[in-house]
């Protein structure tokens, strides 16, 4: 006899409200009772920026755009790192909901990246305003391209989080391995150093690590005012789609039984 | 009309005698495969459970702890996947498997109503209009902005019950959450439950209380060791359950 569960709930009606409520309550409780509130989310990457800038601006004195490149690299990396780490633990963190009631569990993974997304949006706006005022004019095309890169980064993050969240329920070490990868990735990605100091033949491998592509493309449009080629764009879009597809595929395969491990 | 049809449902869990969580444990154990498989014991929770529920009917499920009642409800709800068998449900399901699921103690009652209500399938618009009724039913209007961590357990249960029973759609599934609170609130719960029945909702309820099963269920089943051992009307099953406990 075939195995089949049919639940005839009207699907979409309550989902926008559920997503909004989960984001809102997560945001409210994260900084509940703190004097600084949401400012703490902004202080962390800013402090990192001040420390790194104080140390490395002495070394990279030849680059007049070092500070802007550094801040763009830092906040985009912080987005990637924070969002994926939260995403990996998202299902585990909502055990009390997922084992007692029925709603699409992917909503939990999706909303878990919201806090990091809000931070990156605030930083993006602030950086664009700073560049437009103190450096050069930013056209609609540059801003749109940058918006596209942040969106593609979000797609990549959701793909990784979907896969990581279900794998974590089976292999608890995955979380530790990912954190280790994040530590190594921080130095592998050209955040505190310019990509130009790396031998050209290694650039392909560095771009294969998708945060490098997103950060370099963002720097290119915001700082240099140069739009990457159409081929480069297509490769980034294709890579993001592959990551999302792979993550979704893995999630759909593993999630129904993975939830029994909660 | 059949609202819920369950055919030959089987479910087992593999209980490892050695718990393997980390990659290291998995890798080390893969070198001793035979031992690995010998260390997993199959626990049959459901063995060929079949029954159906007519629309508008109230069906009770009784059985000792560990007999498979909660697993059955989780499979019907879609939280667990069956190993074999089929669940067909033609109407929307509202599961209430635990009161206060999703409560956030750091948030006040209103925020928690929105959180729990949306999780249970209500839209924000529905919750906006229902919010005051929910607080009134729970008798907690004056504490609406108090954080839940300051509520007594009885107050929290009343609020949870009020939200849960506001979200009722086609088939209501209850796992031991029939009536809560003091006698006055319990009576209010029973009254609300009668309203739900009169509105034509179908109900599937698990209870250890023979009085509830006898009073409210048109039909009931008794489960033992993952199998249905007896079917009948509510009072018959309630009697049989009490006898099985005392014999």
Q: Give the CATH number of the domain where residue B174 resides.
A: 3.40.50.300
Buried b (16+ CB within 10 A) or exposed e, A11-25: eeebeebbbebbbbb
Q: How far apart are CA A215 and CA A189, in angstroms?
A: 9
B72/A contact by beta carbon, under 8 A: no
Residue B97 placed within a domain? no
- Domain boundaries, position B71: 2-92+169-246
Q: How far apart are CA A68 and CA A135, in angstroms?
A: 10
Q: How far apart are CA B189 and CA B205, in angstroms?
A: 14
Q: Which residue of A has its CA nearest to B13?
A: A260
Identify whether residues B178 and B140 lie together within a single domain. Answer: no
pLDDT on residue A49: 82
Q: Which residue of A has its CA nearest to B85?
A: A3
Identify whether residues B74 and B31 lie together within a single domain. Answer: yes
pLDDT on residue A39: 80
Identify whether residues B221 and B146 lie together within a single domain. Answer: no
Q: Mean pLDDT over residues B111-134, rounded?
A: 88
DSSP string across A137-176 = ---HHHHHHHHHHHHHHHHHHHHHHHHHHHHHHH-THHHH
Is A218 or B188 the better-scoring residue by pLDDT? A218
Token representation of residue A222: 């915001």
Instruction: Measure CB to CB from residue A2 to each of B13, B86, B122 and give the nearest one.
Output: B86
pLDDT digits (tens, 9 = 90+) for B35-65: 555 567 788 899 999 999 998 899 999 999 8
Q: What angle do CA A155, A159, A161 make, to 5 degrees?
A: 115
Token representation of residue A241: 């789609």
Identify whether residues B164 and B228 lie together within a single domain. Answer: no
pLDDT on residue B184: 81
Phi and psi dihedrals of B85, rounded to 5? 105, 180
Ordered mean pLDDT values, 10 residues apiece, chain A (262 residues): 44 82 85 75 82 78 82 93 94 84 88 90 90 83 93 96 93 90 93 88 90 95 90 94 96 85 72
Final residue of a domain: which of B168, B188, B212?
Answer: B168
| Average pLDDT value over all residues in chain B | 85
> Domain-by-domain residue ranges, chain A?
35-261
Q: Mutation test of the interface with chain A: which of B118, B149, B176, choosing the one with the most A Cβ atoms within 10 A?
A: B118
Chain A residues inside the 8 Å CB shell of B88 = 4, 6
SS3 category, A13:
coil
Identify whether residues B106 and B79 lie together within a single domain. Answer: no
Identify whether residues B174 and B224 lie together within a single domain. Answer: yes
How many domains would you assign to chain B?
2
Name the strand (E) or helix (H) holding B158.
helix B153-164
Identify whether residues B122 and B210 lie together within a single domain. Answer: no
Q: Are B72 and B223 in contact (CB under 8 A)?
A: yes
Instruction: Measure CB to CB from residue B95 to each of A16, A98, A102 and give the nearest one.
Output: A102
Q: Mean pLDDT over residues B64-75, rounded?
A: 90
**Total CB pairs under 8 A between chain A and B:** 122
Residue B35 placed within a domain? yes
Q: Are B62 and B237 in contact (CB under 8 A)?
A: yes
How far are the Cα atoms of A72, A105, A113, A159, A195 from residue A189, in angstroms, in the given order?
Answer: 12, 32, 21, 20, 9
Eight-state DSSP code of residue A232: H
Q: Mutation test of the interface with chain B: which of A98, A101, A106, A171, choosing the one with the most B Cβ atoms within 10 A?
A: A101
């Amino acid at each position: 006899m075939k195995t089949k569960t049919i639940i005839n709930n009207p699907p979409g009606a309550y989902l926008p409200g559920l997503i909004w409520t989960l984001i809102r309550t997560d945001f409210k409780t994260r900084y509940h009772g703190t004097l600084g509130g949401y400012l703490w989310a902004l202080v962390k990457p800013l402090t990192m920026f001040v420390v790194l800038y104080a140390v490395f601006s002495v070394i990279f004195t030849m680059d007049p755009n070092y500070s802007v490149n550094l801040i763009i690299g830092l906040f985009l990396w912080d987005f990637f790192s924070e969002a994926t780490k939260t995403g990996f633990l998202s299902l585990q963190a909502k055990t009390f909901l997922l084992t007692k009631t029925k709603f699409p569990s992917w909503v939990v993974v999706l909303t878990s990246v919201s806090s990091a997304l809000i931070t990156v949006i605030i930083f993006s706006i602030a950086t664009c305003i700073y560049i437009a005022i103190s450096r050069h004019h930013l056209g609609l095309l540059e801003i749109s391209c940058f918006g596209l890169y942040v969106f593609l980064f979000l797609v990549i993050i959701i793909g990784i989080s979907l896969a990581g969240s279900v794998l974590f329920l089976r292999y608890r070490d995955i979380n530790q391995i990912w954190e280790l990868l994040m530590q190594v990735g921080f130095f592998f990605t050209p955040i505190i150093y310019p990509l130009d100091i790396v031998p050209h033949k290694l650039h392909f491998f560095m771009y294969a690590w998708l945060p490098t592509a997103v950060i370099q493309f963002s720097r290119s449009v915001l700082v240099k005012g140069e739009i990457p080629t159409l081929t480069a764009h297509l490769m980034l879009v294709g890579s993001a789609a592959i990551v999302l597809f792979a993550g979704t595929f893995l999630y759909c395969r593993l999630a129904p039984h993975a939830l029994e491990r909660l | 009309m059949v609202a819920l049809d369950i055919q030959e449902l089987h479910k087992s869990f593999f209980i490892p005698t050695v718990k393997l969580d980390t990659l290291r444990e998995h890798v080390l154990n893969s070198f001793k495969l035979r031992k690995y498989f010998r260390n997993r014991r199959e626990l049959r929770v459901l063995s060929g459970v079949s029954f159906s529920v007519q629309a508008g009917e109230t069906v009770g499920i009784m059985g000792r702890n560990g007999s498979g009642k909660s697993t059955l409800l989780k499979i019907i709800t879609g939280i667990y996947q069956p190993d074999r068998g089929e669940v067909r449900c033609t109407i929307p399901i509202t599961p209430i498997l635990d009161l206060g699921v999703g409560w956030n103690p750091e948030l006040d009652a209103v925020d928690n109503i929105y959180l729990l209500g949306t999780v249970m399938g209500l839209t924000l618009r529905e919750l906006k209009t229902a919010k005051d009724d929910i607080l009134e039913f729970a008798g907690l209007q004056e504490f609406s902005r108090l954080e839940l961590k300051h509520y007594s357990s009885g107050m929290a249960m009343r609020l949870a019950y009020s939200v849960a029973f506001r979200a009722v759609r086609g088939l209501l599934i209850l796992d031991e959450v029939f009536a809560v609170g003091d006698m006055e609130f319990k009576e209010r719960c029973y009254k609300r439950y009668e309203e739900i029945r009169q509105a034509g909702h179908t109900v599937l309820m698990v209870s250890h209380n023979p009085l509830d099963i006898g009073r409210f269920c048109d039909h009931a089943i008794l489960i033992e060791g993952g199998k249905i051992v007896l079917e009948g009307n509510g009072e018959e099953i309630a009697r049989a359950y009490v006898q099985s406990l005392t014999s």
